[in-house]
Amino acid sequence: MKLLTAILLIVLSCGIPGVVRAQQPPPQQQDEFVPIDQLPPQDQLPAAPLLVAAYSFVVLALFAYVVSVARRLTNVQRELERLEGDVKRGGSA
């Protein structure tokens, strides 16, 4: 039974492309080049991903920098407070 199903599937898979091909006209063999002025829209490079990437990069870069400066500032502030506490208590390093 299983063998029969397998043979049936193989025969069908060979036949279906033949049916499809019979319904479409065969592609024309190209024997000359035809110039056009502008690429058809589906071949042109889409602008939207580039635009989105550019604006996202700007926002991310600026945000990353602000975070970096803020983090460094907090570290320095913390150390400054610790030091001032030490000095106030009259101790040395």
Partner 1 sequence: MPNWFTPLAGICALMFAATPVLIANAPYESTMGLVQKIFYVHLPSAWMFLGGAIVCGIASVRFLFRGDPRQDRLAWAAAELVVLFGVITLVTGPLWARKAWGVWWQWDVRLTSSLMGWMVAVAYMLLRKYGGPGSDKLAAGLALFGMANVPFVYISVNYWRTIHPTTNVVPTLPTSFGLPLWFSAVTFLLLFILLLRMRVRLEEQRARIDTLYLSMDA
C-alpha to C-alpha distance for 14 and 66, rounded to whole angstroms:
63
What is the nearest approach in angstroms of partner 1 to the Cβ of residue 35?
18
C-alpha to C-alpha distance for 92 and 83, rounded to whole angstroms:
10
Q: Residue 21 or 72: which CB sits closer to partner 1?
A: 72
Q: Residue 8 or 87: which CB sits closer to partner 1?
A: 87
Binding residues vs partner 1 (CB under 8 A): 45, 47-48, 50-51, 53-55, 57-58, 61-62, 65-66, 69-70, 72-73, 76-77, 79-80, 83-84, 86-87, 92-93
Q: Residue 12 or 79: which CB sits closer to partner 1?
A: 79
C-alpha to C-alpha distance for 35 and 57, rounded to whole angstroms:
38
Q: CB of 66 within 8 A of CB of 59? A: no
Handedness of CA 35, 37, 41, 44 (dihedral sign): positive
C-alpha to C-alpha distance for 1 and 5, rounded to whole angstroms:
6
What is the nearest approach in angstroms of partner 1 to the Cβ of residue 91?
8
What is the nearest approach in angstroms of partner 1 to the Cβ of residue 34?
22
